[in-house]
Amino acid sequence: VANTPNYMLIAERLRKRIESGELKGGTQLPTELEMREEYGASRNTVRDAVKWLASRGLVEAYPGRGTFVTKRIVPFVITFSADPETGFGGGEGQAYVLEIEGQGRTPSVSAPQVGIEVAADAAPDLGLPAGAQVISRHQKRYIDGEPWSLQTSYYAVSLAERGATRLRDPSDVEQGVVGYLREILGIEQVGYVDRLGIRPVTSDEELFFELHAGSQRSVLENRRVAYDADGNPIRLTVSILHPDRTEIAIIEGQVPESARQERSWPIRHGRQPRPREGR
Amino acid sequence: VANTPNYMLIAERLRKRIESGELKGGTQLPTELEMREEYGASRNTVRDAVKWLASRGLVEAYPGRGTFVTKRIVPFVITFSADPETGFGGGEGQAYVLEIEGQGRTPSVSAPQVGIEVAADAAPDLGLPAGAQVISRHQKRYIDGEPWSLQTSYYAVSLAERGATRLRDPSDVEQGVVGYLREILGIEQVGYVDRLGIRPVTSDEELFFELHAGSQRSVLENRRVAYDADGNPIRLTVSILHPDRTEIAIIEGQVPESARQERSWPIRHGRQPRPREGR
DNA sequence: GCCTATTTGTGCGTATGTATG
DNA sequence: GCATACATACGCACAAATAGG
């Protein structure tokens, strides 16, 4: 009755071999021509099966070399809630560096690319009229040398006009932008709102994240609006996060110290906790 | 120089027509045979283009009918941080109902499916030895009648043995499980840790979420471990969230009331804020 | 219910291009 | 240059789902 197509049957057989551990990360799959014989199907059908696996990130195909089982990754944990020690967290600035180093990994950041642009998306979040100009500061961020996130912060140009001119400099602000704004303009960041969502990766991001071309994966996108003590928005930060390398922790209320320790697990593909049927 | 394959060129042309608004949600695309002529390519090549769009959720193909532009969805916002009014939030129990209703939408929940199983994943989070048994309570949750999340909570069997027998009943606990455990066993939930990640959808989930078969999308998965006042884990709740219908808000520190209002935007596909190049 | 035309899904064969070693 | 392996592209046949008569 279950008339599952052939390419799916082949994909399932391969998936089981991968998930059982028979085919470990890094192992080369049989070539398409070998599998053509092995499964008694045409090369195109085998290819459909491999494509299905590739789109879920289970295997990666390289022209001229072969198809290999993807190595599992232990994701980085970033905490999206206040930490009593480091103050505000959430993968930005100082807190980000401390948290990643705490996990025994090495964070690095590209020099900021700075520009002035018309606020499109950013305008409403910053409380600016549509079409207003904003300063954008863009950074690429790496962990252990591997691409991890694309981050862009937007500020009203008025901040620079009022004296915070370094916002326009394409260089790092050593004490952090938060500290800089406090020092120069007396603006205190007292809170923020994060909006986290998920969407398909763009081709630019595919390139940066070194996701396999056509992998058709999704990324996490976070939009953080930070506020000063008067309740005015200071800053919008948009972060695009690597899907496999990111895990977000949120701590609320009172939890034991042991639970604060960053524990993480490699992403599980395949069967999940609760199949079952019935509405 | 840029030798982009034909199917990609076709896909890009279609994408632009969709994102420009020329092809609105619900519109039928030309049939494969029509596009075959329109673009002077073979049917298979056109199909590759359409598949590319489908895997990003831009279009949906129905056998026997045609291919249609996906309707954009306004996601539901759930707040993953304490709310002064409702106490703990995060899309569970009472807080979930209030929050969704506050957005003018109607939440509903299936009757819980209850079982006793060997804790596999759940054991370490609940502080149990590997192989220990746990009570699982599974619910399907809908918003405006549309599937929104699969949620399973795990409890140590010892809780039921100590008197909280209703954990084993496949029926709703009116006052909520949190309140029930407090009442019966005096266990107070004082905090929790969330772990949010992203992974490819399974075929079961594809079915439940009414994602198009082979859509090859990703889902959000959250694992919440709740603790009592002694720092012991009470409960692990695993939630699988619909990728297009979910947006997670996290509020930290002090933000103006206006920012607490749930604002959300439909998912943007295509070009993102920061292309630019250079390392 | 049946038949038919339309439309997408699956499967195969083949040829050629491109990247790798 | 050469062999290998994946990527693209086309043509064809048939299956399965849908809608309409």
> What does the mean pLDDT of chain A come to?
84
Q: Residue B117: in which H helix or E strand, if any?
A: strand B113-118
Residue A100 predicted with pLDDT over 90: no
Nucleic strand D under 7 Å from the C-beta of B213: no
Tell me which residue of B62, B53, B60, B70 sits closest to B10, measured CA to CA: B53
State the smallest CA–CA distance between residue B192 and chain A in angstroms.
5
Quote the pLDDT of residue B206.
87
pLDDT exceeds 90 at position B262: no
Report strand pairing: B218-228 vs B189-200.
antiparallel
CB–CB of B225/A259 below 8 Å? yes
**In the predicted model, what is the mean pLDDT of residues A251-278?**
58
- Flag whether the pTM goes above 0.75: yes
Question: Is A255 part of the contact surface with chain B (CB cutoff 8 Å)?
Answer: yes
The verdict on A240 touching B (C-beta cutoff 8 Å) is yes
- Contact (CB<8Å) B138/A276: yes
Segment among A186-195, A205-214, B153-162 with least mean pLDDT: A205-214
Which element (helix H / strand E) includes B140? strand B133-143
Share of chain B above pLDDT 90, in %: 45
Mean pLDDT of A261-274: 49
pLDDT at B279 over 50: no
Query: Which A-chain residues 123-152 have CB contacts (< 8 A) with chain B?
Result: 136, 138, 140, 150, 152
Mean per-residue pLDDT, B34-59: 94
Chain A touched by B273 (CB under 8 Å)? yes
Find where tokens 């082979």 sit. B214
pLDDT in tens, B125-171: 898 998 899 999 999 999 888 899 999 999 999 999 999 999 998 88
Question: Which residue among A81, A138, A243 sits closest to B198, beta carbon to beta carbon?
Answer: A243
Of A121, A193, A216, which has the smallest distance from its Cβ to B55's Cβ? A216
Residues in contact with B47: Cβ distance below 8 Å, sequence separation at least 6, in sequence order: B32
B254 with A200: Cβ contact below 8 A: no
Tell me phi and psi for residue B25, to 5 degrees.
-55, 135
Query: Is residue A263 over pLDDT 60?
Result: no
Residues 198-227 of B with CB under 8 A from A: 198-200, 202, 204-205, 214, 216-220, 225, 227
The predicted structure's pLDDT at residue B261: 66
Q: Is the pLDDT of residue A122 over 70?
A: yes
Is the distance between the Cβ of B42 and the closest atom of strand D smaller than 7 Å? yes
pLDDT digit string, tens, across residues B190-207: 888 899 999 988 888 888
Question: pLDDT value at position A154?
Answer: 94
β-strands B133-143, B107-109 pairing: antiparallel
Mean pLDDT for B240-257 is 87
Please report which confidence band the pLDDT of residue B86 belongs to, taking 50, 70 and 90 as the band edges.
very low
Residue A87 clears pLDDT 90, i.e. is over it: no
More confident residue, A5 or B100: A5
Under a CB-based contact definition with an 8 Å cutoff, are residues A12 and A58 in contact? no
For residue A111, the chain B residues in CB contact (below 8 A) are: none
Residue A214 beta carbon within 7 A of nucleic strand D: yes
Helices (H) and strands (E) in chain A, counts: 9, 11
Task: Residue B209: count other Cβ atoms within 10 Å of its Cβ.
Answer: 23
The model's pLDDT over B164-191, given as tens digits with 9 standing for 90+, comes to 999 998 888 877 888 889 889 998 888 8
Question: Which positions on strand D lie below 7 Å from a protein C-beta?
Answer: 3-12, 15-19
How far apart, in whole angstroms, are the C-alpha atoms of residue B274 and residue B278?
12
The residue-averaged pLDDT of A212-222 equals 84
pLDDT at position A91 is: 59
The pLDDT > 90 percentage for chain A reads 43
Place of tokens 């107070």: B188
Nucleic strand C under 7 Å from the C-beta of A189:
no
**A37 contacts A75 by C-beta, under 8 angstroms:** no
Considering CB atoms only, which of A138, A227, A251 is closest to B274?
A: A138
B245-249 mean pLDDT: 91
Q: Which own/partner contact pairs does B6-11 have at CB distance under 8 Å and 24+ positions apart?
A: B6/B41, B6/B45, B7/B41, B7/B45, B7/B46, B7/B48, B7/B49, B7/B52, B8/B49, B8/B52, B10/B35, B10/B39, B10/B41, B10/B45, B10/B46, B10/B49, B11/B48, B11/B49, B11/B50, B11/B52, B11/B53
| pLDDT above 70: percentage of residues in chain B | 87
Q: Positive or negative CA dihedral for A213, A218, A220, A221? A: positive
Burial of B192 (0-12, 13-18, 19+ CB in 10 A): buried
Higher pLDDT, B189 or B69: B69
User: Interior CA angle at B121 toward B115 and B124, to 5°?
Assistant: 110
Q: How sure is the predictor about A6, in pLDDT bands with cuts at 50, 70 and 90?
A: very high
Q: According to the model, what pLDDT value does residue B122 have?
A: 84
What's the average model confidence in pLDDT over A106-121? 88
Q: Name the token pair of B16.
A: 């632009």
Chain B hits for A87, Cβ within 8 Å: none
**How far in angstroms lies nucleotide C19's C1' from the CA of residue A210?**
17
